[in-house]
């Protein structure tokens, strides 16, 4: 039986190979990866019945590479949409401003796209366009966002103005600014999944079910504007 002698240690070559394999497996098992997993229905105690009954029966738990669950998301089972719209600077012109697209729960404090802290808890997600004015130029590569609104939305089908939605989002954030999360064009063709894009943002991608068909979207769950 051959032996290998290095630094005064004598080991069987086969034993060394086994040891190296075990160490490699231990290293791999200690690593965490960003991932998305399916979960059950949205908790009835967190959202009104009027909201839960229009959500999909399954949700998504989104975790970062360190294993931290950043959010749990439940999307609307059929988001109203309209094809043929041309909205300057928008990736998702099919969606109408203020439309409820789903709900989210944050187990721990997070930061929105502005970098402001968002308290743990449950919120509604409503689509909105970044105002197309000089005050917001360069804030994001496109105008699509979801704004957090209070979870106790009594009428998810209600249409609210941009000003009303901003006021609701300020209430949810507990600050003078709305709580905003950017929507970007998804990379790749794996849905659902999460990845880190070239800007360093963690993007959760999923196919949103709409009245005109599946709509791939990318939600920035971690990352903020410079």
Which pLDDT does position 133 carry in this prediction?
Answer: 56
Output the CA torsion sign for 52, 55, 56, 60.
negative
Distance CA 156, CA 189 (A): 30
Give pLDDT tens digits for 109-139.
Answer: 999 999 999 999 999 999 999 987 544 445 5
Q: Which structure tokens are listed for 165? A: 């939605």
Q: Which residues pair with 122 in a beta bridge?
A: 105
Biggest CA pair distance of the chain: 81
For residue 189, give every residue at least 6 positions away whose Cβ sits within 8 Å of its Cβ, in sequence order, or none. none
Q: Is the pLDDT of residue 70 over 50?
A: yes
Report residue 11's pLDDT band, with 50, 70 and 90 as the boundaries: very low
Count of other CB atoms within 10 angstroms of residue 160: 19
pTM beyond 0.85: the answer is no
């Amino acid at each position: 039986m051959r032996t290998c002698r290095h630094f005064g240690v004598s080991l069987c070559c086969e034993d060394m190979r086994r040891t190296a394999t075990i160490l490699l497996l231990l290293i791999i098992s200690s690593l965490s990866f960003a991932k998305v997993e399916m979960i059950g229905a949205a908790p009835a105690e967190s959202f009104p019945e009027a909201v839960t009954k229009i959500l999909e029966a399954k949700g998504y738990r989104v975790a970062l590479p360190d294993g931290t669950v950043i959010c749990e998301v439940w999307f609307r089972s059929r988001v109203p949409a309209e094809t043929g719209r041309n909205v300057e600077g928008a990736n998702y012109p099919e969606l109408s401003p203020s439309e409820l697209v789903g709900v989210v729960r944050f187990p721990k404090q997070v930061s929105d796209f502005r970098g402001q802290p968002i308290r743990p808890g449950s919120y509604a997600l409503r689509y909105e366009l970044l105002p197309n004015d000089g005050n917001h130029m360069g804030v994001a590569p496109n105008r699509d966002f979801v704004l957090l609104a209070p979870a106790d939305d009594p009428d998810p089908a209600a249409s609210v103005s941009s000003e009303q939605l901003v006021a609701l989002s300020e209430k949810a954030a507990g600050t003078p600014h709305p709580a905003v999360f950017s929507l970007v064009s998804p990379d790749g063709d794996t849905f659902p999944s999460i990845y880190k894009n070239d800007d360093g943002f963690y993007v959760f991608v999923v196919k949103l079910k709409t009245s005109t068909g599946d709509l791939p979207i990318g939600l920035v769950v971690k990352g903020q504007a410079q």
